[in-house]
């Protein structure tokens, strides 16, 4: 029976993962804070803007929640790729 061992990521790889994850969390928290700040002017906002801000906050909160849950379980390679893709899309906006 053949045993396969996974190589331990290097310190540089660990730092890169932490940097990517932290960047994703900072971006999401920033979007949530901006949405909440905007919603504090509830009476001055059009209903469509209110709905957009609530949607942004909700989507970003889900992203943060799922990312933290992945970290608790250990972040799989496909999740890292998806996270990097999400960060790239955010920078394009």
At 5 the pLDDT is: 52
Q: Whole-prediction pTM value?
A: 0.66
Q: Which residue has the higher pLDDT, 51 or 2?
A: 51
pLDDT digits (tens, 9 = 90+) for 39-90: 999 999 999 999 999 999 999 999 999 888 888 777 667 776 777 777 677 6
Annotate 1-54 with DSSP letters as a single string. -----PPPPPHHHHHHHHHHHHHHHHHHHHHHHHHHHHHTTGGGS-HHHHHHHH
Question: In this model, does residue 1 exceed pLDDT 70?
Answer: no
| Average confidence (pLDDT) over 5-22 | 74
What ranges do the domains of the chain cover?
Answer: 22-92
Of the candidates 21, 12, 2, which has an alpha carbon nearest to the alpha carbon of residue 76? 21
Q: How does residue 36 score in pLDDT terms, banded at 50, 70 and 90?
A: very high
Q: Is 76 helix (H, G, I), strand (E, B) or coil?
A: coil
Could you count the other beta carbons within 10 Å of the beta carbon of residue 27?
17
Taking the C-alpha atoms of residue 60 and residue 57, their distance in angstroms, rounded to an integer, is: 5
At 7 the pLDDT is: 58
């Amino acid at each position: 029976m053949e045993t396969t061992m996974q190589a331990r990521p290097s310190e540089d790889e660990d730092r890169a993962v932490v940097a990517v994850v932290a960047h994703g969390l900072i971006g999401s928290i920033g979007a949530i804070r901006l949405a909440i700040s905007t919603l504090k002017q509830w009476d001055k906002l059009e209903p469509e803007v209110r709905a957009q801000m609530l949607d942004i906050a909700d989507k970003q909160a889900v992203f943060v929640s799922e990312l933290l849950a992945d970290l608790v379980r250990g972040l799989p390679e496909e999740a890292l790729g998806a996270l990097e893709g999400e960060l790239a899309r955010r920078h394009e906006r």
